[in-house]
Amino acid sequence: MPLKLLASLPLLDPQTLDAQADAAVRGLLREGSSANTASSYRAAIRYWTAWFELRYGRMFALPVPEAAVIQFVVDHAQRSTDHGLKWELPLALDRELVRLKAKGRLGAPSLNTLLQRLSVLSKAHELHGHPNPCRSATVRELLSKTRRAYARRGVAPARKEALTREPLQAMLDTCDDTLRGKRDRALLLFAWASGGRRRSEVVRATMENTQRTPDGYLYTMAQSKTNQAGAARADDQKPILGAAALALDGWLAASGIRQGPIFRRVRRGGVIGEPLAAAAVRDIVLERCELAGLDGAFSAHSLRSGFVTEAGRRNIPLGDTMAMTGHASVATVMGYFRAGSALQSPAARLLDDPQDSHL
C-alpha cells in the first residue's frame, strides 16, 4: 500500500525531471568536472554548432542524425588520393569557421581533435538520454578504418613530449631565488617527483592535505581523474622527498604560507596572491621550457609522461610506478614506460654478449 502523502507536497512525474531537479543535475555535473574538461567540452560543442548550422542551414540540436556524424568525419578526416591528401570540408565553410573563431586556422584538424569532438558529442547524447549516433555500427567502423588509415601514413594521435630528468633539470636551473623562482622550482618538483601530478591535482595541494614528515612530505589525494568519487585508496598518499621536499621547504618559508592552498600567485613587489588556477601550471611549464631553451612540444602533461618515461629508463617496477602515478590502466602507462626502458633492454644488446666476442 502506498505511503500517505503530505497534502502540501507537490507530486512529481517519475518519467521526467522537473525544472528544479534538472538544474540540480546540471549543477552537480558542472561541480564534478574539472575546469579544463568543462572548457574543452564547451569548445567542442561550439564547433559542432557552427559547423552544423553552416553545413545544413538549420539550428543545431540533439539528437544529431547518424548521417550528419558521418559527414562530420569525412569533412575533417584526411584521406589519400591520387592528388594527395583530401578532406570534404568546403574551403568557403572552413574560412567562415575561422572567421567565427570556431577554429584557429584553415585546414584539417589533427586526428586527436577530430576524435575529441566526436567523444564530446557522444557524451552529450548519453547525458541527455538520446540515442547515440556515435555508437552506431557504421560510425564505429568508419572511425576504426580512419584510425588505421592515419596509422598507415605514420600519423598517430599526438602526444606531448616527455620531460625526463635532463630537460627537467634544465628548467629547474632557470628558477632563481626570487619568490617566483622558489615557487616554480617547488611546483615543478612537487608535480614531477610525486608521480607526475596533473594540473588539477597540483593546485589542490594544501597545507592541510600535505603533511610534513621526518623524511619529507606526504600529499594525500582526496580525488583525481581516476578516482572521481574520492574513494579512500591505499595509494592516496604520494611522497615528496629529497630535492622536491627541500624545494617545498624553501617556498613555504619564503612565502609564509601556513594554511590553505600551497601554490599561489606572486604579485608585483613579492605579494602572495590568490591560489593558482590549473591553467597557470601549464603556463609555468611552458615559460620555464622557453627559458631553458628546450625545443619540443611540451605541456603540463609532459611532467606526468616524463616521470613514467624516467621510471622506465631506471627499470623501476611497473607496479611501483603506477602506485605513484595513480594510473588505472596498464595499457595507458605502458607506452611511456616502454619508451623509457627501450634503450636499456638486454634484448637490444645480444651481439654484446661476452660469449660472442668473436663476432
Residues 138, 186 within the same domain: no
Angle CA 25–117–333, to nearest 5:
90
217: in domain: yes
Residues 83, 181 within the same domain: no
Residues 188, 143 within the same domain: no
User: Of 246, 165, 238, which is closest to residue 195 (Cα–Cα)?
Assistant: 238
In total, the chain counts a number of residues equal to 359
Residue 213: the pLDDT is 94
Residues 171, 145 within the same domain: no
Residues 182, 264 within the same domain: yes
240: in domain: yes
Residues 58, 196 within the same domain: no
Residues 74, 95 within the same domain: yes
Residues 174, 299 within the same domain: yes
CA distances from 128 to 43, 52, 118, 121 (A): 18, 19, 16, 11
87: in domain: yes
158: in domain: no
Residues 147, 41 within the same domain: yes
222: in domain: yes
2: in domain: no
Residues of the chain with pLDDT under 70: 1-37, 156-159, 222-234, 335-359
279: in domain: yes
122: in domain: yes
Cα–Cα distance, 13 to 5 (Å, whole number):
14
Number of structural domains found in the chain: 2
Q: For the chain, what is the largest distance between any 2 Cα atoms, rounded to a whole number of angstroms?
A: 97
User: Of 234, 248, 233, which is closest to residue 187 (Cα–Cα)?
Assistant: 248
Angle CA 259–262–268, to nearest 5:
105
Q: What is the DSSP letter of 227?
A: B
Q: Per residue in 36-65, is it b (16+ CB within 10 Å) or e — as a string?
A: beeebbebbbebbebbbebbeeeebebbbe
Element (H, E) at 205: none
Residue 1: the pLDDT is 47
Cα–Cα distance, 156 to 339 (Å, whole number):
15
Residues 49, 169 within the same domain: no
Residues in Cβ contact with 267 at an 8 Å cutoff, skipping those fewer than 6 apart: 273
Residue 83: the pLDDT is 85
Residue 5: the pLDDT is 47
Domain boundary among 106, 130, 152: 152
Cα–Cα distance, 257 to 113 (Å, whole number):
40
User: Of 181, 188, 189, 198, which is closest to residue 216 (Cα–Cα)?
Assistant: 189
Cα 203 off chain centre by: 14
Cα–Cα distance, 151 to 148 (Å, whole number):
5
Residue 237 forms beta bridges with which residues?
220
Q: What is the pTM of this model?
A: 0.61
Domain boundary among 127, 152, 177: 152
Domain boundary among 152, 186, 220: 152
- The CATH code of the domain that includes 241 is 1.10.443.10
| Structural domain span for residue 297 | 165-344
Residues 148, 169 within the same domain: no
**Which residue in the block uniquely carries the three cell numbers 616524463?**
306
Residue 43: the pLDDT is 87
Residues 125, 182 within the same domain: no
- The CATH code of the domain that includes 142 is 1.10.150.130
